[in-house]
Amino acid sequence: MKLAFRRQRLKTRQPFATFHGVTSEKETIVVELKYDGLVGLGEVVPSALYKQSLESAESALVRMEAMLDWGPLAVEAVVRRLLTEFDDQRAAVCGVDAALHDWIGKRLSVPVFRLLGLEPPQCRTMFTIGLSEPAAIREKVREALAAGFCALKVKVGTDADEQTLAIIREVFDGPLFLDANEAWSPAVALDRLRRFARFRPTVVEQPVARPDWQALAGLSRLGVALIIADESCQRPADILRLHGYVDGVNIKLDKCGGIREALRMIGLARTLGMQVMLGCFVSSSLAIAPALALASLADYVDLDGHLLLAEDPFEGISCFAGKLELSDRPGLGVRPRTAWPQP
């Protein structure tokens, strides 16, 4: 198999802020896997949260090419080998895992969700509103509701949170998900959850820093909202560690290493009676498509990373009234909007 890759530059429609920082531009990596006359595509979305960069992902990709000699149909064996060798570069593994699935789907002329034995992914995604000033919050909520989204996710973690939540609850009575992105100490989290109870959140995601995961048990027992671990949950073993401390986990393919590992994590979480959210980072549709293929397995779908972009270089996922639909083209179902210049 030949593995080639190139960077793609993405711009968000508006600056997107979380407790970790602001994104208005980012680069991801498009992976092309060529074998037997077909090309499989995948996207690598490295995250500084997991000590990854474009450079660290690219150097992993260069080393991976020599480890693909079993061919794409041995996807499980190949990805296991990559996860063992590149445990800290799971975003890069995810891009190759996606390209392998895309290739197999194209070879067998079936969409990836069919290949996995799953239902067509037709699901409602929540829409995420970043940290913003009150006027901007009002405008973003108005836009999201006008576009038909039925569930909202709001980034929290500042002194303005109560004001933000009050503004949203003035006009929106539906499911409200809060994501603190590790913003609070355990004591502050306890205080915030008590104060936020009046806004009836459905879920509070990652209220405390990763190493404070044991404090999540106390927050879950408060009964204000379901507590879901995101940054604390990267690998399958994290689910075992978190069981009994949280109500559920946010599984992101970019974070865990792709479809194969995500399926293991979803199975594990389900076996342990935990809830499953499927999440994403800001990325093009190419990174959203493999996660969307698994959407029928999740309780909550938060796959709006491509909707935050000014221009998405890939097409194949439609969004009407908050409902995502993946094309039923073979493979991942997405393709570049414009032909790439040939080297």
- Please select the residue that binds Mg ion; options are 205, 238, 254, 304, rule is CB under 5 A: 205
Segment interacting with Mg ion, rule: CB under 5 A, options 101-109, 119-127, 229-237, 306-314: 229-237
Residue 305 or 313 with smaller CB distance to Mg ion: 305
Position 182 contacts Mg ion (CB under 5 A): no
Which of 43, 102, 182, 230 is close enough to bind Mg ion by CB under 5 A?
230
In sign, the C-alpha dihedral spanning 205, 211, 215, 217 is positive
Q: Which residue is nearest to Mg ion (CB)?
A: 230
| C-beta closer to Mg ion: residue 230 or 238 | 230
Query: For residues 179 and 182, what is the distance between their CA atoms, to the nearest angstrom?
Result: 9
* Burial group, residue 159, by CB count within 10 angstroms (0-12, 13-18, 19+): exposed
Task: Please report how close the Cβ of residue 181 comes to Mg ion at its closest, in angstroms.
Answer: 6
**Shortest gap between Cβ of 193 and Mg ion (angstroms)?**
16
Burial tier of 323 (Cβ tally within 10 Å: 0-12, 13-18, 19+): middle
Which of residues 28 and 250 has its CB atom nearest to Mg ion in the complex? 250
Cα–Cα distance between 127 and 129 in angstroms, integer?
Answer: 7
Measured between alpha carbons, how far is residue 241 from residues 71, 185, 190, 209, 231 in Å?
34, 20, 21, 15, 13
Q: Which stretch binds Mg ion (CB under 5 A): 2-10, 101-109, 174-182, 257-265?
A: 174-182
- CB of 177 vs Mg ion, minimal distance in Å: 9
Nearer to Mg ion, 126 or 334 (CB): 126
Token digits of residue 32? 């092309």
Q: Shortest distance, CB of residue 18 to Mg ion, whole angstroms?
A: 8
Listed in sequence order, the residues at least 6 apart from 196 whose beta carbon sits closer than 8 Å to its beta carbon are 161, 162, 165, 178, 204, 224, 225
Residue 254 as a binder of Mg ion (CB under 5 A): the answer is no
Residue 317: count of CB within 10 angstroms of its CB = 24
Of the residues 43, 58, 97, 179, which one makes contact with Mg ion according to CB under 5 A: 179
CA–CA gap between residue 209 and residue 271 (Å, rounded): 26
Q: Is 304 in the site for Mg ion (CB under 5 A)?
A: no
Residue among 102 and 179 whose Cβ is closer to Mg ion: 179
102 contributes a contact to Mg ion by CB under 5 A: no
Kindly tell me which of 82 and 246 has the beta carbon lying closer to Mg ion: 246
Q: How far apart are CA 79 and CA 175, in angstroms?
A: 36
How many chain residues are in contact with Mg ion, going by CB under 5 A? Answer: 3
What is the three-class DSSP state of 28?
strand
Please tell me whether residue 302 binds Mg ion under the rule CB under 5 A.
no
Site for Mg ion, rule CB under 5 A:
179, 205, 230
